[in-house]
Amino acid sequence: MFHPGRSSMKKGNGILFLIPWTLFSLLFLLLGGMAIADEPPLQSPWDLHPVAVTDAPYTCPAAPQLPHNFTTNSYYIDSHHSVIDPALKKNYEDSVAPIEEFSRAVVKAADTYQTKGSRAARQCVYTLLEDAAKQKALSGNMGSGQASYVQGWNLGTWAVGYLKVRASGVASIEQAHEIAKWLKKLAEENQDYYEGKRHRSSSNDAHNNHLYWAGFAISAAAIATHDRGLFRWGMDAYREGVQSIQSDGTLPLEMDRGQRALHYHLYALAPLVMLAELGEANGLDLYAESNFAIKRLVDRCVSGLEDPGFFQQKTGVAQVTTPEMQASEIGWAQPYLRRFPDARLSALLAQAHQLSFTTWGGLPPP
């Protein structure tokens, strides 16, 4: 069961770790954090793979004007949230356009640093995030559930973008503090949304794929800010997810998505794998939780990608599928396959033209 609430989440009011690891504790204490002598800094998968810095050129775009308060609409019009209204979808896309433009810029710079070592790209990530932090982007009133989803999705993108460059340790203390306060506020606000809903019903968005995406985003922000309470919250979001996996590998709330049941199983699996990777970087064997339940979900999704017939039979409707394998459908397989080799899954992964998906921060963990 999903237990932690805000009252248990205050431990670890840390700052962004943008300096060498040996100076972390001292700076943390100077800026008002709690003593962490017995707790090493939280790590990300990218901390474990140093990047060789180069002079590869990179042009950094200016950050767009980003909203502080935000509201937007859902675009599904049926009870299963599976049928899209084109006009509502256009309204939604227009409302998130500047936010997504900014997130793509962060992802591009962070992955350029990861793949080319560009110090200019690394600095671009810091510059963009500091600008957004000063704007207090998405840290005001979220006027709808959909707005809270947008807040969480982009928090994950921004936090992972930061985690991909933080080991370089080049940001100033002021820059680090500015970004840290902002990411922490976003994480706490997004946590509040789900905590406020999870006791009302067992079938709402506080228990389905939205919870897993929030867990991923909040865990990434927790690692960035060394907040153990927020990190535990994200890990428990993972545990609730895998405990929901049935013996046949399905998730009941995602199976209720009609013609998009397969799509939403894949969409739920992605943040669960990403959460498992964040946990593994900190000594937690999340893949083994609930007797390796996530493997059942992976197997069901692999079968569904090969042939959606199971999902069609269970839902009674043909499934919406894509003509080509998308990063959002299969990119999670890259880190998963490193731990659990599987020929069928490798064959599906090979069909994808690229693996970068903005919502999990670009390229998947190494």
User: Which tens digit of pLDDT belongs to each residue from 78-126?
Assistant: 999 999 999 999 999 999 999 999 999 999 999 999 999 999 999 999 9
User: Which tens digit of pLDDT belongs to each residue from 269-299?
Assistant: 999 999 999 999 999 999 999 999 999 999 9
pLDDT of amino acid 40? 87
Tokens 């979900």 belong to residue: 297
Cβ atoms 155, 92 nearer than 8 A: no
Higher pLDDT: 1 or 364? It is 364
What secondary structure letter does DSSP report for 354?
-
Question: Is pLDDT above 50 for 33?
Answer: no
Cβ atoms 339, 366 nearer than 8 A: no
Candidates 307, 302, 272; CA nearest to 289 is 272
CA dist 211 and 203 (Å) reads 12
In a domain, 231, yes or no: yes
In a domain, 365, yes or no: no
Candidates 284, 243, 152; CA nearest to 205 is 152
Cβ atoms 154, 138 nearer than 8 A: yes
Q: Would you give the end-to-end CA distance of the chain in angstroms?
A: 30
CA angle 167, 18, 154 (to 5 degrees): 90
Question: Is pLDDT above 60 for 264?
Answer: yes
Candidates 355, 340, 258, 348; CA nearest to 301 is 348
56 contacts: CB under 8 Å, gap ≥ 6: 112, 116, 117, 118, 120, 121
Q: What is the three-class DSSP state of 147?
A: helix
Residue type, 199: H
pLDDT of amino acid 38? 65
Residue 251: which domain range? Answer: 6-360
CA dist 311 and 127 (Å) reads 45
Question: Is pLDDT above 90 for 182?
Answer: yes
- Least confident interval from 12-26, 136-150, 272-286, 339-353: 12-26
- Looking at the DSSP bridge assignments, the partners of residue 70 are 142
Higher pLDDT: 173 or 203? It is 173
pLDDT of amino acid 100? 98
Question: Is pLDDT above 60 for 11?
Answer: no
In a domain, 366, yes or no: no
Give the other-Cβ count within 10 Å of 320's Cβ: 16
The reported pTM is 0.90
Cβ atoms 158, 132 nearer than 8 A: yes
CA dist 192 and 6 (Å) reads 7
Question: Is pLDDT above 80 for 32?
Answer: no
By 3-state DSSP, what share of the chain in percent is helix, strand and coil, each rounded to 5? 60, 0, 40
- Residue 29 sits in a domain of what CATH number? 1.50.10.100
CA dist 228 and 10 (Å) reads 8
Please state the rounded mean pLDDT for residues 6-14: 34
- Least confident interval from 31-35, 204-208, 329-333, 345-349: 31-35
Please state the rounded mean pLDDT for residues 24-41: 50
User: Which tens digit of pLDDT belongs to each residue from 149-178?
Assistant: 999 999 999 999 999 999 877 778 888 889
pLDDT of amino acid 176? 86
Higher pLDDT: 34 or 43? It is 43
CA angle 351, 354, 357 (to 5 degrees): 120
Counted domains in the chain? 1
